[in-house]
Structure 1
Amino acid sequence: MFNQEKKAKSATENNKEQNKIAPGTKIVGNIEAKGCFRIDGCVEGKVKTPGKVVIGKDGFVNGELECENADIEGKFTGILKISGTLSLRSTALIEGEATVSKLAVEPGATFNATCAMRGGVKAIHSERGERKQQQQEKSA
């Protein structure tokens, strides 16, 4: 029983730890981690984590980013899959595709991407469809 509690505690602690890719570092390949990331270097490949990813002003990611929340100050090219909030700072440059739940964009950020938002979108579409049907029924 003690070992199970210890394993659960260490798994929780891993999620709080932050991984850092320092300036001047270039990684080519896929990265998967349980903790958060701060990227100030260059990554070419897929980055996947259930936590938060911060791409610093000098950071660059070319590939795919899959995480809960992302805060981007640097450059990203590729596919973004954010289950929570994507925050783009004024220095951000994004190109590619994005699937997010929430999007926050500061003035000055460049967002050249197709964007699909999950969450409340389905309710809006069904509500619009109902309104159109009601308007058509009233007109008839």
Structure 2
Amino acid sequence: MFNKQEDKKSVAEMVSSSNVISKETFIKGDIKAQGNIRIEGKVEGTLDSQNKIVIGDSALVIGNVRAEEAEVSGRIEGEIHCTGVLFLKKTAIIDGNIFTQKLVVENGAIFNGKCQMGEAAAKPLNGKVKRDATEKELISR
């Protein structure tokens, strides 16, 4: 009924797709995707992508982040796990530990936590969020 060429194409399209959480959006819960994730709004929960996660300037994430590659311009309160490269842009604010293979930090980025590089990137998430925030607190930030 389906040939292998069509199956491969649909998997490739799914992996290259992007999921966007816009600026005025607040999500409380975990997000897991095969493709890329871009956050411009506020998320309280775990972000997990098989590819890349981008945290925009206006974004706030209270929870852990796991991806192959991540680019952070906004604020994260939680652990970051990257099996590849983690980019911290000049507007990034990280309150939590980092586990990554490679780290690139622009001048001006703020990082409060511990950093482990190399095999430490394979460390499993502990599932704990740094702190709880109410929806009102998240929206007002």
Corresponding residue number in structure 1 for 2:50: 50
Deviations 1:22-69 (A, max 9, x none): 001011111111110110001111111111111000011110111011
1:120-135 matches, cutoff 5 A: none
1:7 is matched by which residue type in structure 2?
A: D
Percent of matched pairs sharing the same residue = 39
1:4-15 matches, cutoff 5 A: 4-15=4-15
Corresponding residue number in structure 1 for 2:114: 114
Corresponding residue number in structure 2 for 1:34: 34
Q: CA deviation at 1:3?
A: 2.8
1:102 is matched by which residue type in structure 2?
A: K
Which 4+ stretches in 1 moved above 4 angstroms? none
2:6 is matched by which residue type in structure 1?
A: K
The structure with the largest alpha-carbon Rg is: 1
Higher helix share: 1
Taking structure 2 as the reference length, the TM-score comes to: 0.81
Taking structure 1 as the reference length, the TM-score comes to: 0.81
Q: 2:98 matched to 1:102?
A: no
Rounded to whole Å, the distance in 2 between the matches of 1:108 and 1:49 is 26
Name the structure, 1 or 2, with higher relative contact order (CA <8 Å, separation 6+): 2
Which blocks of at least 5 consecutive residues in structure 2 are unaligned?
120-141
Rounded to whole Å, the distance in 2 between the matches of 1:58 and 1:74 is 6
Considering only aligned residues, what root-mean-square deviation do their CA atoms show, in Å? 1.2
1:12 is matched by which residue type in structure 2?
A: A
Corresponding residue number in structure 2 for 1:71: 71
1:90 is matched by which residue type in structure 2?
A: K
Deviations 1:88-129 (A, max 9, x none): 01000001111000000000000112111015xxxxxxxxxx
